[in-house]
Amino acid sequence: MDNHLLEQKINYTFKEKSLLELALTHCSFSAEHGMQNNQRLEFLGDAVLEAVISAHIYHRYPSFDEGKLTRLRVSIVSEEPLAIAAEELELNHFILLGVGEKVNGGANKPGVLSDTLEALFAAVYLDGGYSAAEDVILRVLKDVIADANKRPLDYKTTLQETLAKDGPVTIVYTLLSMEGPPHNAVFETEVSCNGKVLGRGKGSSKKRAEQAAAKQALKQIEQ
């Protein structure tokens, strides 16, 4: 798909088009074509994103303490909400993938989507500076930011706080199984508190499975 369409979606026109192309180049594509990939940009984009969101919520929620600000930031910059924002941009149509990764549905994997979005933010930062990156980030993540304070995306933290209200507890996440090939595995995790099983969950990574288990545990507690 024409990258100009992506520029229109994020309302930013690159002066150096090669930065945009690099941001969209997955490591599987670069390995097949002997070129650079977006991993370094992803590293930078992660830092730029965290700085922009930290400043934004600091000013937007003056009554929040450090702990609440941290949890709110996590609910915005973690893989799941970033992947959702990337899907809304239809970023999957622009990512350059190797043949194998494309066949395995790599363009729709949450990890690939969120990593590419971070690389895109870094590309804007390098091309236009902090102010341009800030504008793009806050525009692209507008809905995520608006919803973040309404839903507990970090279910593990919420579960910990809920169970620890009456005193110290020991929460353990146990990996029960991993099914499928490594590139497309499904993990199942069980969460227990003081030896009592509270919930189970599945996900495309151990972290996502733990979040799913914590989410189920919270539902059980609320019933």
CA 203 to chain centre: 14
pLDDT at 183 over 80: no
Supply the pLDDT for residue 56. Answer: 97
Supply the pLDDT for residue 151. Answer: 59
Q: Which residue has the higher pLDDT, 47 or 218?
A: 47
Q: Is 46 a catalytic residue?
A: yes
Joined together, the tokens standing for residue 166 give 């009456």
Write the CB contacts of 114 (distance below 8 Å, at least 6 apart in sequence). 79, 80, 82, 83, 86
CA–CA dist 151, 82 (Å, integer):
15
Confidence of residue 186 (pLDDT cuts 50, 70, 90): confident
pLDDT at 31 over 70: yes
Mean pLDDT of the chain: 89
What mean pLDDT comes out for the span 11-26?
96
Q: Is 90 a catalytic residue?
A: no
If you count them, how many residues does the chain have?
223
pTM for the model: 0.71
Catalytically annotated residue among 79, 101, 115, 118: 118
Amino acid identity, position 93: H
CA–CA dist 114, 42 (Å, integer):
9
Angle, CA 74 vertex, CA 140 and CA 6 arms, to 5° = 20
Q: pLDDT by residue (tens digit) across 106-147?
A: 788 888 999 999 999 999 999 999 999 999 999 999 988 988
Joined together, the tokens standing for residue 212 give 């799913």
Which residue segments constitute the domains of the chain, with CATH numbers given? Answer: 3-148 (1.10.1520.10), 155-222 (3.30.160.20)
Specify whether the CB–CB gap between 182 and 204 falls below 8 A: no
Q: pLDDT by residue (tens digit) across 42-69?
A: 999 999 999 999 999 999 999 998 888 8
Joined together, the tokens standing for residue 188 give 């199942």
Confidence of residue 170 (pLDDT cuts 50, 70, 90): very high
pLDDT at 152 over 60: no
Confidence of residue 1 (pLDDT cuts 50, 70, 90): low
Supply the pLDDT for residue 20. Answer: 97
Dihedral in degrees, nearest 10, Cα atoms 73, 75, 81, 85? -40
Write the CB contacts of 74 (distance below 8 Å, at least 6 apart in sequence). 153, 154, 157
What does the DSSP 8-state code read for residue 205? S
Query: Which among 178, 214, 223 has a CA at the least distance from the CA of 193?
Result: 214
Please list, residue by residue across 101-138, b when 16 or more beta carbons sit within 10 angstroms of its beta carbon and e when fewer do.
beebebbebbebbbbbbbbbbbbbbbbbeeeebbbbbe
Catalytically annotated residue among 42, 46, 134, 154: 46
What mean pLDDT comes out for the span 91-103?
88
